[in-house]
C-alpha cells in the first residue's frame, strides 16, 4: 500500500511534540511493512481510514485505490469529534 501526506497533515505533524513525532514515524514504518498489524487498530470508516499512534494520538486518511492520503494527525479526543 502506498502513502502520501497532505499539507494539513504535515502542518499538524510539525505542531506535535518531538516524542509524538518519533512515535508517529515509528508507527508509519511498522504500518508500511504490515498495514494489518493488530496493534495499530487500523479501522475503515467508508473510504477513510484511522490508525492508532500510541495511546493518545490517531491519524486519518482517505484510501483511493492502493494509496492512503493522510490528511490529519492529532489527539484521540479530537479524532473522536472528527469521525463522530
As given in the structure block, the three cell numbers for residue 76 are 484521540
Grid-cell match 467508508, residue found: 46
Distances in whole angstroms, Cα of residue 2 to Cα of each of 19, 23, 34, 64, 83? 25, 20, 12, 10, 23
Given this model, what pLDDT does residue 10 score?
A: 98
Given this model, what pLDDT does residue 27 score?
A: 87
The pTM for the full model equals 0.85
Given this model, what pLDDT does residue 39 score?
A: 66
Instruction: Name the domain count of the chain.
Output: 1
Provide the domain limits for residue 67: 2-83
As given in the structure block, the three cell numbers for residue 10 are 504535515
- CATH code (residue 41): 3.30.2310.20
DSSP state, residue 37? -
Q: Which residue has the higher pLDDT, 40 or 67?
A: 67
Q: Note whether 17 and 74 are within 8 A (CB).
A: no
Amino acid at each position: 500500500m502506498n502513502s502520501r501526506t497532505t499539507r494539513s497533515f504535515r502542518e499538524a505533524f510539525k505542531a506535535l511534540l518531538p516524542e509524538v513525532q518519533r512515535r508517529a514515524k515509528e508507527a508509519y514504518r511498522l504500518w508500511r511493512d504490515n498495514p494489518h498489524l493488530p496493534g495499530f487498530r487500523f479501522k475503515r470508516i467508508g473510504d477513510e481510514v484511522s490508525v492508532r499512534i500510541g495511546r493518545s494520538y490517531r491519524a486519518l486518511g482517505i484510501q483511493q485505490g492502493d494509496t492512503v492520503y493522510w490528511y490529519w494527525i492529532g489527539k484521540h479526543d479530537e479524532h473522536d469529534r472528527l469521525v463522530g
